[in-house]
Amino acid sequence: QVQLVESGGGLVQAGGSLRLSCAASGRTFSRYSMGWFRQAPGKEREFVGAISRNGVRTSYAESVKGRFTASTDNAKNTVYLQMNSLKLEDTAVYYCAVSPSFGAMVPGAYDYWGQGTQVTVSS
């Protein structure tokens, strides 16, 4: 019902910045939350942050708080994740996803997922 197309990943030096985009199409919800997750090799998929449909509420994992910022552009049906002060440990495949509940931190709470985009941070 919902399709998510993620872009913006790439290779960046430690301390640098990237902005990820996730464009949504198809069936839309009147109320939902967008979540960002990441998964590094050999690790579980982990919660990064979440933003409400109207963009007024955000939630972040402690590991990225103060460095990453989620935002929305409703006219474009797009959400963003601005990543600053990137660290080596931020290297992962990043995914966007949609949940009917704001701020859910487990992947099972999300119904639709993007394809993922690789973020690699080098020293």
Distances (CA, A) of 110 to 33, 70, 96, 120: 9, 17, 10, 25
Spell out the per-residue pLDDT of the chain, length 123, in tens.
789 999 999 999 999 999 999 999 887 665 689 999 999 999 999 999 999 988 889 999 999 999 999 999 988 889 999 999 999 999 999 999 999 989 999 999 999 999 999 999 999
Q: Whole-angstrom Cα distance, residue 92 to residue 100?
A: 25
Question: Which residue has 């919660």 as its token pair?
Answer: 47
Contact 29, 101 (CB under 8 A): no
* Phi/psi of residue 74, nearest 5 degrees: -65, -30
